[in-house]
Copies of this chain bind each other. A is one copy, B any other.
């Protein structure tokens, strides 16, 4: 599980989804009240020895105090609110940022991004806390973000980025990559048609795709992982 978490960090950095400040966590497989997350480190530099165990109140367990991600509250609060969620990614992928600051919703037009049909709300931090420095830097903001994502697979964060959740690490990596790719493709289609009609996935198509848990993700996962770990 730690190996996959390290791989997820490296893959998403290599794919341009995570910059130096993104992070990825996974719920502990033997204790649902714990999750694993790196100490404060750029994802491309994360190794097994950097992974720490946290309780759902976002406190590191059994380790002397080390440098922690400011926004670790994203993780604990969503794991608390969403027993179905096994892995979480907080990203600043450039293609999704514009969709957080305009009034045109992100919609799925590409089959690997069918999960978008389940809904991708926008988190407006002003509604939760007024004027802030935009970061999820305490449990209350983490809870507000968890409320915003509700039962959805992802939430855009206005002027900031996105948080994506999934039932497994490979699924999370796929969703994080295809959220950004769908954003790019939808923006392109919107611009090409000057706001004209676009054939999005039908909700039933999206449901049928989502029902096939994993979409054969193993095939790409193997290639992503090899590439990410080799170019260490």
What residues of chain A have their CB less than 8 Å away from a CB belonging to chain B? 19-21, 40-42, 44-45, 70, 92, 94-95, 97-98, 100-104, 109-112, 126, 131-135, 158-160, 181, 184-185, 187-202, 204-205, 208-209, 211-212, 216, 219-224, 226-227
Contacts and interface: CB of A to CB of B under 8 A. Distances in A.
B20 A196 contact: no
B40 A205 contact: no
Nearest to A40: B219
Contacts of A216: 21, 40, 70
B111 A159 contact: yes
A101 B189 contact: yes
B205 A131 contact: yes
Query: How many copies, total?
Result: 4
28 contacts: A19-B220, A21-B216, A41-B222, A42-B222, A42-B223, A44-B227, A45-B222, A45-B226, A94-B181, A94-B184, A100-B199, A101-B109, A101-B189, A101-B198, A101-B199, A102-B189, A102-B197, A102-B198, A103-B193, A109-B159, A110-B159, A126-B202, A131-B202, A132-B205, A133-B212, A159-B201, A187-B192, A194-B194
A97 B134 contact: no
Contacts of A212: 133
Contact of A21 (B92, B193, B209, B220): B220
B159 A102 contact: no
Nearest to A42: B223
A200 B193 CA distance: 18
Given A102-B196, A198-B101, A111 B160 contact: yes
